[in-house]
Amino acid sequence: MSKELTLATLLSPWQDISSDKIANIAVQHLELDSRKVVAGNTFVAVKGHAVDGRRFIPSAIELGANAVIADACEQHPAGTIENVSNIPVIYVADLGQHLSVLARRLYPLSNHKVIGVTGTNGKTTITQLIAQWLDLVGQKTAVMGTTGNGFLDDLKPAANTTGSAIEIQHTLHCLEQQSARFTALEVSSHGLVQGRVKALEFEVGVFSNLSRDHLDYHGTMEEYAEAKFTLFSEHKCHHAVINVDDEVGANWVERLDHAIAVSLKPTQHQKAVWAKNVSYSEQGISLSFDGTFGAGQLHVPLIGEFNASNVMLALTTLLTLGIDKQRLIETASSLKPVLGRMELFTAPKKAKVVVDYAHTPDALEKALNALRVHCEGQLWAIFGCGGDRDKGKRPMMADIGERLADRVILTDDNPRSESPAEIVQDMLVGMQQPELSVVEHNRFEALQFALSNSQADDIILLAGKGHEDYQVMATETIHYSDRESAIQLLEQGA
């Protein structure tokens, strides 16, 4: 449980209410969502990017909030205390920027190491490899990110890759209470820009790569890159583990004195871990490594070159934490593929189906290149592009599919409020011979078509949704899973 603070103690960094009659109100739990308030909670009313939480102060009070901490404004300047239905509303300047510190004061961590992983692709795989590996060497570890929060055998769904500042701190506090020694946390660019991890202390920060994504939010690749870089430049981050095979990462290592460079080839960086003799098969990846922590060899049952990079980043992170190298080598073969990340599904005499979360141009390119090495027949690509998101990547992804796959099926991937047909039209513009692609908006039927028209030595990449079990339409969110589709269609012989 969180420690109970008085309202005066909790708010003391920003304003002094110690002499006020409300000073001794007990704060047990902070809640940002007025709908989730229960009796005794303290409601935090922030002016957000899309919604102004102050609009919901009356409903939070009605549900039993014992106090409200609200964003100050012209009408209610900082320091104002208003009485609403006998419940105090305390106005604090720039409240949104203070949420992380506010939450840390109520939900402290005492002996818990946080590992932050940022980058466009690979965050989920790297965090889960770190957690699996630490568990294998006897260190209880949790994850927080895209596929959920908690321990790997009991993940609770997460609404966003990086939750709210209060949610993050509260979750970490609860995980520590459940004996977690470490938590591997996916850190999104949105989470960094919006100060959601501002008060966290990172034992290690990890950078995977940077490619086009979220430009609808950041505007330019430069702004997107700088948002990611703040994990290392503006946060408490004791160690930095950076992929220097990525151009952005190679630049960052020069800007960070304490960084350890990670590469799939020998590198001259002063502090570095690199791979050599990397080999790929359907059984996984075998490699030798050398560098700052010495040499070794290991085998992991994962597919593809980018997973070799993910493994090297996870390995370097754990070596940086002081985990015994020999124990890591011995347990590497027990690591498991991550749910919906280059996940292989097979059935006798049928094409192999690989389900992957790739939904950016770079991720799709890496997934197809990785599978080409394993493919003896034709390589199929089934993918779409999300609605209400960066339209610029649509023709780029279609171009990549056309160049790197033998057969392309364009389908839906969370069309949201946009017309699925118009999204596909935006994609077709990027193709030299659009008439050779197949358009099938229903993902299940797209896979059914591919399995019915493929040979046993073909590989079908079903990209974009990975672990997700839903499809977001204009007016509803329906249940749909690529993984379930693959299992069902392979079992029934398509």
Residue 18, classed as helix, strand or coil, is: coil
CATH of the domain at 386: 3.90.190.20
Under a CB-based contact definition with an 8 Å cutoff, are residues 286 and 279 in contact? yes
On whether both 435 and 321 belong to a single domain, the answer is: no
Quote the pLDDT of residue 165. Answer: 94
Q: Is residue 411 pLDDT above 50, yes or no?
A: yes
CA-nearest of 418, 410, 408, 413 to 482 is 413
On whether both 230 and 130 belong to a single domain, the answer is: yes
On whether both 156 and 207 belong to a single domain, the answer is: yes
CATH of the domain at 152: 3.40.1190.10
Q: What is the pLDDT of residues 418-471, one digit of tens each?
A: 999 999 999 999 999 999 999 999 999 999 999 999 999 999 999 999 999 999
Percent share of the chain, pLDDT over 90: 85
CATH of the domain at 84: 3.40.1390.10
On whether both 438 and 302 belong to a single domain, the answer is: no
On whether both 389 and 414 belong to a single domain, the answer is: yes
Which residues are annotated binding-site positions for ATP? 119-125
Our count of domains for the chain comes to 3
Which residues are annotated binding-site positions? 32, 34, 119-125, 160-162, 188, 194, 196, 389, 413-416, 464, 468
Which residues are annotated binding-site positions for meso-2,6-diaminopimelate? 389, 413-416, 464, 468
Residue 460: exposure state from Cβ atoms within 10 A (0-12, 13-18, ≥19)? buried
* End-to-end alpha carbon distance in the chain: 51
Q: Give the range among 122-131, 271-280, 336-345, 481-490 with minimum mean pLDDT.
A: 336-345
On whether both 21 and 74 belong to a single domain, the answer is: yes
Buried b (16+ CB within 10 A) or exposed e, 35-52: eebeeebbbbbbbeeeee
On whether both 263 and 328 belong to a single domain, the answer is: yes
Instruction: Give the whole-angstrom CA distance, residue 91 versus residue 77.
Output: 7
More confident residue, 374 or 75: 75
On whether both 258 and 404 belong to a single domain, the answer is: no
Instruction: Give the whole-angstrom CA distance, residue 456 versus residue 371.
Output: 15
On whether both 274 and 126 belong to a single domain, the answer is: yes
Q: What is the pLDDT of residues 241-270, one digit of tens each?
A: 999 999 999 999 999 999 999 999 999 999
Last residue of a domain, one of 307, 334, 361: 334
Quote the pLDDT of residue 218. Answer: 43
Mean pLDDT of the chain: 94
* Residue 227 tokens, joined: 């948002």
More confident residue, 300 or 225: 300
Alpha helices, DSSP H, located in 332-452: 361-372, 393-404, 420-428, 443-452
Instruction: Give the whole-angstrom CA distance, residue 14 versus residue 128.
Output: 38
Count of other CB atoms within 10 angstroms of residue 470: 13
Can you tell me the mean pLDDT for 299-312? 93
* Residue 350 tokens, joined: 């049928």
Quote the pLDDT of residue 281. Answer: 84
Beta strand 272-281 with 259-263: parallel, antiparallel or unpaired?
A: parallel
Can you tell me the mean pLDDT for 22-39? 96
Quote the pLDDT of residue 214. Answer: 47
Under a CB-based contact definition with an 8 Å cutoff, are residues 10 and 102 in contact? yes
Q: Is residue 159 pLDDT above 80, yes or no?
A: no
Instruction: Give the whole-angstrom CA distance, residue 206 versus residue 314.
Output: 9
Instruction: Give the whole-angstrom CA distance, residue 402 versus residue 47.
Output: 45
Quote the pLDDT of residue 161. Answer: 64
On whether both 299 and 365 belong to a single domain, the answer is: no
Q: Is residue 319 pLDDT above 70, yes or no?
A: yes
Q: What is the DSSP code (8-state) at residue 157?
A: P
Quote the pLDDT of residue 3. Answer: 63
Quote the pLDDT of residue 300. Answer: 97
Quote the pLDDT of residue 69. Answer: 98
On whether both 249 and 117 belong to a single domain, the answer is: yes
Quote the pLDDT of residue 162. Answer: 65
Can you tell me the mean pLDDT for 167-176? 96
Instruction: Give the whole-angstrom CA distance, residue 289 versus residue 191.
Output: 33
Instruction: Give the whole-angstrom CA distance, residue 305 versus residue 264.
Output: 9
Domain range for residue 187? 109-334
Instruction: Give the whole-angstrom CA distance, residue 425 versus residue 428.
Output: 5
- What is the model's pTM? 0.85
